[in-house]
Chains A and B, each alone.
Chain A
Amino acid sequence: MSVIFWLISAITIAGALFAVILKNTVHCALALTVAFAGLALLFLGLDAQFAGFTEIMVYIGAVAILVVFAILLTRGSETPKDSVYSRFPVAGLVAAAGVFAVLGWAVLQSAGALPHAMQMPSATAKEIGYALVGRYVLPLEILALLLTVATIGAVIVALHEKEGK
């Protein structure tokens, strides 16, 4: 693995780590943005240009801003008075180690299952477009419906009903 891969991974992990360690919630959101950027760079390193740029556009350009707005408009931006660390560190460590073990096992299993002489699948925007409206058109339509329902639901849940209505 090249040096660049290690550098980008270090940035991603550092970002994700600081997103849970820092006290100020907005700082955590900005550290999470660094983690998103690192992920996008990893996608680009794998020649998946569409996925990488869409990640920047969607995650950094929309999700990070949404997270920051949500923090600012609710009361989460006040710094907590108690410590941010949990009271049961051992249980947390065991749970995290368990999840990591399962994920690592799944990834390593799948790498062994692929034949070594497989060529890289091409993931140009054109291929993704053809796949989305050809083979995966039903999931695309269901996703669109799901997003519409989620948006309408969020507005209805958050809407403050007028008095006397």
Chain B
Amino acid sequence: MFENLDQIFILLRNMVLGYLPEPLRPFVSVVLGVVAIVAIFPGLFALTTVFERKGIARIQNRLGPNRVGPFGLLQPIADGIKSLTKEDIVPTTSNGFIHFLAPLVLVVAVFMGFAVLPMGRNMVLVDMDCALLFYFAMGASSELAVFMAGWSSRNKYSLLGAMRAVAQMISYEVILLLSGLAVVMITGSLSLTKIVEAQNVYSGWFPHWYIFTPWGLAGFVMYAIAATAETNRSPFDLPEGESELVAGYHTEYSGFKFALFFLGEYLAMFSISGLGSTLFLGGWSAPFSFLTWVPSWIWFFSKLMLSIFVFIWMRGTLPRLRQDQLMNFAWKFVLPFTLYNLMVTALWRFLGDGWERWVVCTVLVIAGYVLLGRVSMRREHFGPRSYRYAE
């Protein structure tokens, strides 16, 4: 019975396809998958906006939205109606075509990332051999949309926000890739379904998730930092900081286009959390071997919502990082540590099974972290800051 519950969406799809003639089947199968993704994730986005506002409000010792429905749960409907009926103001001197295209390119690029996430057993939209590469390619495309938004607004604050956002995103993208690379090294494949299957093994009660290994924990922490920076979430949200830059690259967007940017940002958060749980937290596999009867898609979405909760928690707790602090942190500490982590991962692979590799790798990770932190994040001079620009 639980196997049927686990595969219920696949069974439903096969039932619908059974009513159709043979040539239409592949086409309709893909369309059904796309419709499911386009329906579920914006629905989760609506839930997350309430979750976030209530969560941050509670952290800040206030109530959050509580008027619209029971516990404010129907707030997204009110927000949706508001953003649809607002006047769409486009500045006259702005570059109309690109101003219109920027939110579209962002949302399309972000939706494409969902196509390769394995959301349950056999539940991937497209099962590719190079799935991880595809995901990062779509992430790279979304940066261009941010730049397009900021530049086409003909607004100095927007341009500044866009430049900062793009600089931050390209710095942390390298880190995202390198921390995911350790997982690819151990699994031996770029395909996300194979990565999840490699983690779906249990020794006794405990699963072989990569986060439970020393290099996996270090990799996961760096992946989480890079994910927060990639989606411009606090504490890395200087590009859209309200008190610094008005609203950064989406200043000149009103009404539904702003809602699309908002949607794009939250969807990017979902898909990067989904990828993080696929790479390090075992994707759709259960945390204990006696819990495998629970359907796999419930585990995937639970891990996703847990990651979102941690993002919201970080937003309510940590202060914002300044741009130069952010860039220093990325290039001087996290990137060298990611490369060091790759070497530790290689050592893990070649030391063979046994307790030696646990001890050696744990010691190496901790030693590397402490040494690198002491050496590279040391402030050398406390005098006035001097800048050297490239001309």
Residues on A lying within 8 angstroms of B by beta carbon are 24, 26-27, 30, 33, 49-50, 53-54, 56-57, 60-62, 64-65, 68-69, 72-73, 124-126, 155, 158-160, 162
Beta-carbon contact of A65 and B170 below 8 Å: yes
Name the B residues within 8 Å of A64 (CB-CB): 144
List 6 additional contacts besides A56-B137, A61-B144; criterion CB under 8 Å: A27-B95, A49-B134, A53-B136, A65-B166, A72-B159, A158-B391
A-B contact pairs, 8 of them (CB 8 A): A50-B133, A56-B138, A56-B140, A61-B143, A65-B143, A69-B163, A69-B166, A155-B390
Query: A126 to B134, alpha carbons, bound, how many Å?
Result: 16
For residue A71, give the distance in angstroms from its CB to the closest CB of chain B: 10
Query: A62 to B129, alpha carbons, bound, how many Å?
Result: 23
Name the B residues within 8 Å of A56 (CB-CB): 137-138, 140-141
The size bracket of the interface on B is: 20 to 34
Name the B residues within 8 Å of A158 (CB-CB): 390-391
Contact with A along B135-162 (1 / 0, CB 8 A): 0111111011001100100000001000
Which of A30, A60, A64, A126 is most buried by chain B, counting CB atoms within 10 A of its CB?
A30
Query: A89 to B81, alpha carbons, bound, how many Å?
Result: 55
Beta-carbon contact of A125 and B137 below 8 Å: no
Beta-carbon contact of B141 and A60 below 8 Å: yes
4 nearest interchain CB pairs?
A61-B140, A158-B390, A56-B137, A53-B133
Name the A residues within 8 Å of B138 (CB-CB): 56
Name the B residues within 8 Å of A155 (CB-CB): 390
Query: A56 to B135, alpha carbons, bound, how many Å?
Result: 11
- Asked whether any CB of chain A lies closer than 8 Å to the CB of B62, the reply is no
Interface residues of B in 53-81 (CB under 8 A from A): none
Q: How would you classify the secondary structure of chain B's contact residues: helix, strand, loop or mixed?
A: helix
- Asked whether any CB of chain A lies closer than 8 Å to the CB of B355, the reply is no
Name the A residues within 8 Å of B136 (CB-CB): 53, 57
Among A24, A33, A61, A160, the residue within 8 A (CB) of B173 is A61
Please give me the residue from chain A that is nearest to B191 by CB atom.
A125
Among B98, B140, B147, B190, the residue within 8 A (CB) of A125 is B190
Beta-carbon contact of A125 and B130 below 8 Å: yes
Beta-carbon contact of A162 and B388 below 8 Å: yes
Residues on B lying within 8 angstroms of A by beta carbon are 95, 98, 128-130, 133-134, 136-141, 143-144, 147-148, 151, 159, 163, 166, 170, 173, 189-190, 386, 388-391
Q: Using A26-B151, A60-B144, A61-B143 as known contacts, say yes or no to A53 and B390 having CB atoms under 8 A apart.
A: no
Beta-carbon contact of B130 and A50 below 8 Å: yes
Name the A residues within 8 Å of B129 (CB-CB): 49, 124-125
Query: A159 to B173, alpha carbons, bound, how many Å?
Result: 25
Query: A69 to B166, alpha carbons, bound, how many Å?
Result: 10
Query: A160 to B388, alpha carbons, bound, how many Å?
Result: 6
Please give me the residue from chain B that is nearest to A55 by CB atom.
B137
Query: A61 to B18, alpha carbons, bound, how many Å?
Result: 42
Beta-carbon contact of A57 and B137 below 8 Å: yes
Beta-carbon contact of B140 and A160 below 8 Å: no
Beta-carbon contact of B144 and A33 below 8 Å: yes
For residue B151, give the distance in angstroms from its CB to the closest CB of chain A: 6
Which of B130, B136, B143 is most buried by chain A, counting CB atoms within 10 A of its CB?
B130
Name the A residues within 8 Å of B137 (CB-CB): 53-54, 56-57, 60-61
Query: A33 to B128, alpha carbons, bound, how many Å?
Result: 24
Query: A54 to B134, alpha carbons, bound, how many Å?
Result: 8
